[in-house]
Structures are given as C-alpha cells and as structure tokens.
Amino acid sequence: MTRLSITINGQPHGPTDVRDDLSMNDFLREYIGMTGTKFGCGAAQCLSCAVIVDNADGTSYTSPTCVTSAASFDGKAIRTVEGHAKNGELSVLQKAFIAHFAFQCGYCTAGFLNEGQVLLERLANTPVKRAELEQTIADALDGHLCRCTGYVKYHEAVRDVILADSKRYLVANQ
C-alpha cells in the first residue's frame, strides 16, 4: 500500500491508501469519480487515457494512466479533461474542438485535448516559426489514436487556436 497525495485540477486529494497495483486510471475513475479520463487499449498505445502532469518549473507533459500506478503519482499535480473549463466556460481549445467537429464518438478527445493544451503551453514558452507549425502540431499529436479518424480536424482545431493568437505562439516576423 502507498499513501497517495495528489493535486488534481488544482484541488488536493488524499492522503489516500492505495494498492501498489492500482492503476492511475482506476484511481481517477473509481476512487475520485472522474470518468472523463478514458480507458482505451490498456497498453499506452492509444493515449486516450492521457492526463497532464505539471512540473514544478511550470512546464507540463502528458502521461498515460492505464499502465502507470496511482502510487507513482504521489506528490504530483495533474490536470484532467474535467479541469479545462473555468467557471463553466470551456477553454479556447475545447471551443475549437467543437467548432471543427473534431470528434465523433469522443473517446479519444480527452487525450487529444490534454496533448493539445500541453502543446499550447510549450509554444507559449518556446514559440516556433510559422513554417514549422504544421510539423510541430503533427509531432505533438502523434501517438494519439482516433478510431473515427478525426486527426485532420483535431490538427486544424489546434492550428486555429495557435494562429488566432500568433503573437503568443509563433516567432514574430517568420
């Protein structure tokens, strides 16, 4: 057993005693009741279960939750799909996903949303040239699988958010 303390979407949870063989996905869905994080392949290959992990230095990355133990998240701060909207208003990226009809069944959406959000935060710190943007988006979303084949729409939605605030995400005059 491990005593797990974790911050989820800004809210502290725990300490909670969890079995060492409890996956993070089960912890979120069964212990916390946050079912927005999906369980897909169970092998870290579709990334529908990905959540955002926030580093202390302000950077972030996504992590699958299906193959990782809940205990391994002790002391960490994560964000799930439930944490994107603020005060009842969807995030810019969520709105863009809807505007582009980026998802059909929606099973992979939480993972794409988290990955897209991490990309936006990375570009805000380290902008890229406009000429590099398409590849940057493709690289970032690579690994996320969508059985409804919404890849292009996800890509376009992320691109639209970036271009709508190009001063923030792109290198100037490029």
Partner 1 sequence: MKSKLRFQLMFSVVVVATSMLAGYAVSETASPSLASPDSFASISDTNARSAAIFTELGKVLTHPRCTNCHPAGDRPRQGDESRLHQPPIARGTDGHGLPAMRCSICHGNANFEPGHMPGHPEWHLAPREMAWEGRTIAEICEQLRDPARNGGRKVEDLIHHIGEDTLVGWAWAPGAGRSPAPGTQKQAGALVEAWVKTGAACPAK
User: Which residues of this chain interact with partner 1, rule CB under 8 A?
Assistant: 21-23, 42-45, 47, 53, 61-64, 66-69, 72, 118, 122, 139-140, 142-143
Please, which residue, 98 or 135, has the CB nearer to partner 1? Answer: 135
Question: Residue 152 Cβ, how far from partner 1 at the closest point, in Å?
Answer: 19
Please, which residue, 25 or 85, has the CB nearer to partner 1? Answer: 25
Find residue 170's DSSP bridge partners. Answer: 128
Task: Write the CB contacts of 71 (distance below 8 Å, at least 6 apart in sequence).
Answer: 2, 4, 18, 20, 22
CB atoms within 10 A of CB 54: 17
Q: What is the largest CA-CA distance in the chain?
A: 55
Question: Residue 69 Cβ, how far from partner 1 at the closest point, in Å?
Answer: 5
Please, which residue, 55 or 174, has the CB nearer to partner 1? Answer: 55
Beta strands in 70-167 (DSSP E): 77-79
Question: Residue 142 Cβ, how far from partner 1 at the closest point, in Å?
Answer: 7
Q: Helix axis angle, 151-164 relative to 92-99, nearest 10°?
A: 130
Contact yes or no for 111/47 (Cβ under 8 A): yes
Please, which residue, 63 or 109, has the CB nearer to partner 1? Answer: 63
Question: Residue 58 Cβ, how far from partner 1 at the closest point, in Å?
Answer: 14
